[in-house]
Chain A
């Protein structure tokens, strides 16, 4: 009978490698795994210290090694603290009332317009399996279907006459062509499976989806709305973790739509997603919405401060950081940022005169108006604002064929001149006019396509518009006040 190999032989590791000095120097994670495995098996004897040292070394080299996977008999719930079990206990009681409420809801039928029943159909397994199968099989099908139809017969080794006629180049070319054709077919098939999605179709779809959602929402009970909202919020978090921020924003939109009264967390999360996409203005409005629902929310304050800073509104940012410290005096992030701001304080726009004008130019006024006109969906309005500094590369410079599109301006830009004003008052004021004009042309082009993608109904487009004359007015205003 063949003797079983010891692990040492199996792994081909010399015995003298099982040694403190060698283990210390070893840099090969794979070998280290083998050494740990041998030591653990106990085949070479029991060396607890060496094992410990090698395990530490392995942890250093390869922290996620399979050898660190442990499985233990399941623990009973008595290992948990009362404190940890309590949420579950409380939950079992809390969920009962919801359960009860649902049972009562059962009586009133929900009249959602359900999608219609699918037409009866059959997917033929046999056909598709020959059609779909491996590329090797596929290669034969088109070959047979070739127009020239040369019956691919094997040329006998002795049949010299045929070999004379055989042109390897031609054959190679034919093979290449076949390959090409296969690829094209596959691609065509994929294309047919993946619906051709044009931007417009997508927009329409989204728009109608939100409209339908609104309709459904009215029929749902608060309990159901809360459930759905929570589900969308969690889904948004998942997308966020996977760094798919656009999708995350979509999910948060839904969550907010479903349950606007308890949407503080969704607003907050949407704000972060916007921050990640560098949409600071949207982030700011989301933070503000969150703070309206939960004025004490430290995270939202901090985020608002960050967003304001990123947007160049240092003064607002400064006040917000102070507010954060008011709520949470230990907040290190706020402290640091405040220090940073303090060091830049020379750059901060000075006092009240200019400050007033900022108010005048700020979108807030418009926003408030918009809000008052469409109370039921304030966040929709705030969403309409163009992402502040979307890079030109992102914004497609599609020829703006829909010319009557409301032009939008980066309102934040208007703040900047105030800083300039501070140093050289008069010249700057004059320069202002030019400055305002300069970015405008570029900006309007960029932002015009940006406004379109908002699927929701725009309750008051003129509110958001800052038409040219308006801008000019404000310029005059600026100069007057100075």
Chain B
């Protein structure tokens, strides 16, 4: 077999619902965030020791944790930014987790999603954290700035406040930073439950572009955060997987894309698709190769994809405007991990092919993917 293979290295059962798993940069440790049965938040730190994992720390807090990231912390301090079920954003020093480095009531509802940038890049803008919440707001935070967000992208007040009268208010499910290639440019992409995709430009403080998918957006990621934006992967309910070419924006048609309709469903052993449409929960690009990415599906399967660029990425349309050309996606490999959705996944930033993922079956798995270097 010459194609990459997905292999389960270690399987660690836990006694709580896992919500997020993240590698601690430049270490063999990973953090698992979750919610206990009594809805207390739990953060476990594990360390990979050859062929077993050892729990080295466990922290419990009153409110369940939903999501976390190391993106805004430098290699020296490696603080983790965490969003919880009550809308609180805290930045924790994993050595002294009892006293948060930064703590703010960020949203009125649960923080569904978090992304951060600027920690390790030199000279590429301030370290910032973006959160997306059930209250429909997307907020950008800088921990050097007191208790207010540096950029606030909330829906107007007549749409309710996140607790009362929230009927017309959207629920933000996914956020992602991108386009941070110098100290000014920065873009936030946000995906909502009704399928809205909004691209906010933080330099000009405007909505750069918006589009609507057929289904709610569950996952978003730019292939790289710190280059001029190149590709944006979007995953939706009912199995949609879209990859936008973000290099060229057409004045009216926006960005071009390539779409895969049944990315969340099981392929079945004989390649015949059967079973219900399933959500694609998460998409993660390989840190060592931006054209390979992995999706985690609602049927407990993960799939590895390879994006190929077209011969010409930009063409002129009949009006003489530039329009982007979508590439093609090939499924490289697929495997079923669990009977429950695989909803969080993290590639190790420093070790090619190593990954950790969590599923709703209360298990954490360390995966190895072979032969990724052949791409």
Residues of A whose CB lies within 8 Å of any CB of B are: 37, 40-41, 64, 66-77, 79-80, 84-85, 88-89, 91-93, 95-96, 98-99, 102, 105-106, 109-110, 112, 114-126, 128-129, 132-133, 135, 183, 186-187, 190, 192-193, 195, 205, 209, 212-213, 216, 224, 227-228, 231, 234-235, 237-238, 241-243, 247
Contacts of A241 in B (CB 8 A): 289, 291
Complex interface: chain B residues within 8 A of A205 (CB): 182
- A69 and B271 form a contact (CB under 8 A): yes
Q: Are B336 and A71 in touch, CB under 8 angstroms?
A: yes
The dominant DSSP class at the B interface is loop
* Contact with A74, one of B8, B144, B154 (Cβ below 8 angstroms): B8
Residues of B close to A123: CB separation below 8 A: 151-153, 200, 205-207
Known: A40-B270, A132-B207. A102 touches B76 (CB 8 A): yes
Contacts of A70 in B (CB 8 A): 267, 269, 271, 334
**From A40, A106, A135, A190, contact of B249 by CB (8 A):** A190
B265 — nearest CB in chain A belongs to which residue? A71
B204 and A192 form a contact (CB under 8 A): yes
Of B28, B227, B291, which is within 8 A of A95 by CB?
A: B28
Task: Report how far A24 CA is from B98 CA in the complex, Å.
Answer: 71
Task: Please name 10 further chain A to chain B contacts, defined as beta carbons within 8 Å, in addition to the given A118-B128, A212-B123, sorted by A numbering.
Answer: A73-B335, A74-B6, A77-B9, A95-B350, A114-B144, A119-B150, A121-B151, A132-B207, A238-B224, A238-B289
Beta-carbon nearest neighbor of A124 in chain B: B156
Q: List 26 A-B contacts (CB under 8 A).
A: A70-B267, A70-B271, A71-B335, A72-B335, A77-B368, A88-B9, A89-B51, A91-B351, A99-B26, A99-B29, A115-B126, A116-B126, A118-B145, A120-B149, A120-B151, A121-B205, A122-B154, A125-B155, A132-B209, A183-B251, A193-B204, A193-B208, A195-B185, A213-B122, A227-B120, A234-B289
Question: Contact: B7 with A77, CB < 8 Å?
Answer: yes
A14 to B32, CA, bound (A): 56
| Residue of A with least CB distance to B335 | A74
CB contact under 8 A between A110 and B76, given known A37-B272, A95-B26, A129-B210: yes
Interface string of B245-259 (1 = CB under 8 A from A): 000010110000000
Per-residue CB contact flags for chain B residues 318-331 toward chain A (1 = under 8 Å, else 0) read 01010000000011
Contact residue range for chain B?
35 or more
| Chain A neighbourhood of B209, CB < 8 A | 132
A106-B77 CB under 8 A given contacts A73-B336, A212-B123: yes
What is the CA–CA distance of A186 and B319 in the complex, to the nearest angstrom?
Answer: 13
Max chain B CB contacts within 10 Å: which of A71, A95, A129?
Answer: A71
Instruction: Tell me, yes or no, whether B164 is within 8 Å of chain A by CB.
Output: no
CA distance A37 to B337 in the complex (A): 26
**Judging by beta carbons under 8 Å apart, are A117 and B205 in contact?**
no
Bound form: Cα–Cα A234–B292 in Å: 14
Q: Which residues of A contact B370 (CB under 8 A)?
A: 80, 84
Residue interface mask B137-161, A partner, CB < 8 A = 1: 0001010110011111111100000
> B51 near A77 (CB under 8 angstroms)?
yes
Q: A74-B6, A235-B227 are in contact. Are A85 and B51 (CB under 8 A)?
A: yes
Complex CA gap A466/B77 in Å reads 51
Report the separation of the CA atoms of residues A120 and B148 in the bound assembly, to the nearest whole angstrom. 8
Give chain B residues whose Cβ lies under 8 Å from the Cβ of A37.
Answer: 272
Kindly state whether residue B74 has any CB partner on chain A within 8 Å. yes
Q: Which residues of B contact A109 (CB under 8 A)?
A: 76
Q: Which B residues are CB-close (under 8 A) to A124?
A: 156
Contact of A80 among B7, B149, B152, B334 (CB under 8 A): B7
A25–B293 alpha-carbon span in the complex (Å) = 38
Q: Closest CB-CB distance, A295 to chain B, in whole Å?
A: 25
B268, A71: Cβ atoms closer than 8 Å: yes
B301 lies within 8 A of chain A by Cβ: yes
Q: B291 touching A238 by the CB < 8 A rule?
A: yes
Known: A37-B272, A70-B334. A88 touches B151 (CB 8 A): no
The answer to whether B50 and A89 have CB atoms under 8 Å apart is yes
Alpha-carbon separation in the docked complex, A66 to B329 (Å) = 11
* B142 cross-chain contacts in A, Cβ below 8 A: 117-118
A contacts with B: majority SS: helix
Shortest distance between the CB of B250 and any CB in chain A (Å): 9
Cβ-Cβ contact count across A and B, 8 Å cutoff: 212
- In the complex, A89 Cα to B351 Cα: how many Å? 12
- CA of A190 to CA of B74, assembled, Å: 34
Closest to B307 in A: A242
Q: How far is the CB of B234 from chain A (nearest CB, A)?
A: 18
| Chain A residues closer than 8 Å to B144, beta-carbon distance | 114, 117
- Complex Cα gap A75–B1 (Å): 14
Across-interface contacts of B154 in A (CB, < 8 A): 122, 125
Chain A residues whose C-beta falls within 8 Å of the C-beta of B38 in the assembled complex = none
Chain B: minimal CB distance from A227 (Å): 7
Q: B44 at interface (Cβ–Cβ under 8 A)?
A: no
B48 to chain A: closest residue by CB? A92
- The chain B residue sitting closest to A67, CB to CB, is B271
A227 in contact with B9 given A40-B270, A117-B126 (CB within 8 Å): no
For residues 197 through 215 of chain B, which have their beta carbon under 8 Å from a beta carbon of chain A? 198, 200-210
Please name all residues of chain A whose beta carbon is closer than 8 Å to the beta carbon of B201 when the two chains form the complex.
193
- B266: Cβ under 8 A from any A Cβ: yes
Q: What are the residues of chain A within 8 A of B227 when measuring CB–CB?
A: 235, 247
With A92-B28, A125-B207, A228-B120 as known contacts, state yes or no: A40 contacts B271, CB within 8 Å. yes
Task: Evaluate contact between A183 and B9: CB separation under 8 angstroms.
Answer: no
CB of A416 to closest CB in B, whole Å: 36
Report if B97 contacts A (CB, 8 A): no
Chain B residues whose CB sits within 8 angstroms of the CB of A73 once the complex forms: 335-336
Q: Which residue of A lies closest to B303 (CB)?
A: A71
Is B354 an interface residue, CB under 8 A from the partner? yes
- Is B166 among interface residues, defined by CB-CB distance under 8 A? no
Contact string, B113-127, partner A, CB cutoff 8 A, digits 1/0? 000001010110111
Question: Please, how many angstroms separate the alpha-carbon atoms of A84 and B4 in the complex?
Answer: 13
- Contacts A115-B183, A118-B142, A125-B207; A238 near B290 (Cβ below 8 A): yes
- In chain B, positions 151-200 with a C-beta closer than 8 Å to chain A are 151-156, 182-183, 185, 198, 200
Residues of A within 8 Å of B125, CB to CB, are 115
Most chain A beta-carbon contacts within 10 A, residue among B200, B205, B319? B205
Determine if B150 and A186 form an interchain contact, defined as CB atoms under 8 angstroms apart: no
B78 near A: Cβ within 8 Å?
yes
Q: In the complex, what residue of chain A is closest to B226 when comparing beta carbons? A: A235
Task: Identify B76's interface contact among A76, A105, A133, A212, CB under 8 A.
Answer: A105
Note all chain A residues with C-beta closer than 8 A to B151. 118, 120-123
In the complex, A157→B26 CA distance in Å?
A: 75
- Cβ of B58 within 8 Å of any chain A Cβ, yes or no, is no
* B5 interface residue (CB < 8 Å to A): yes
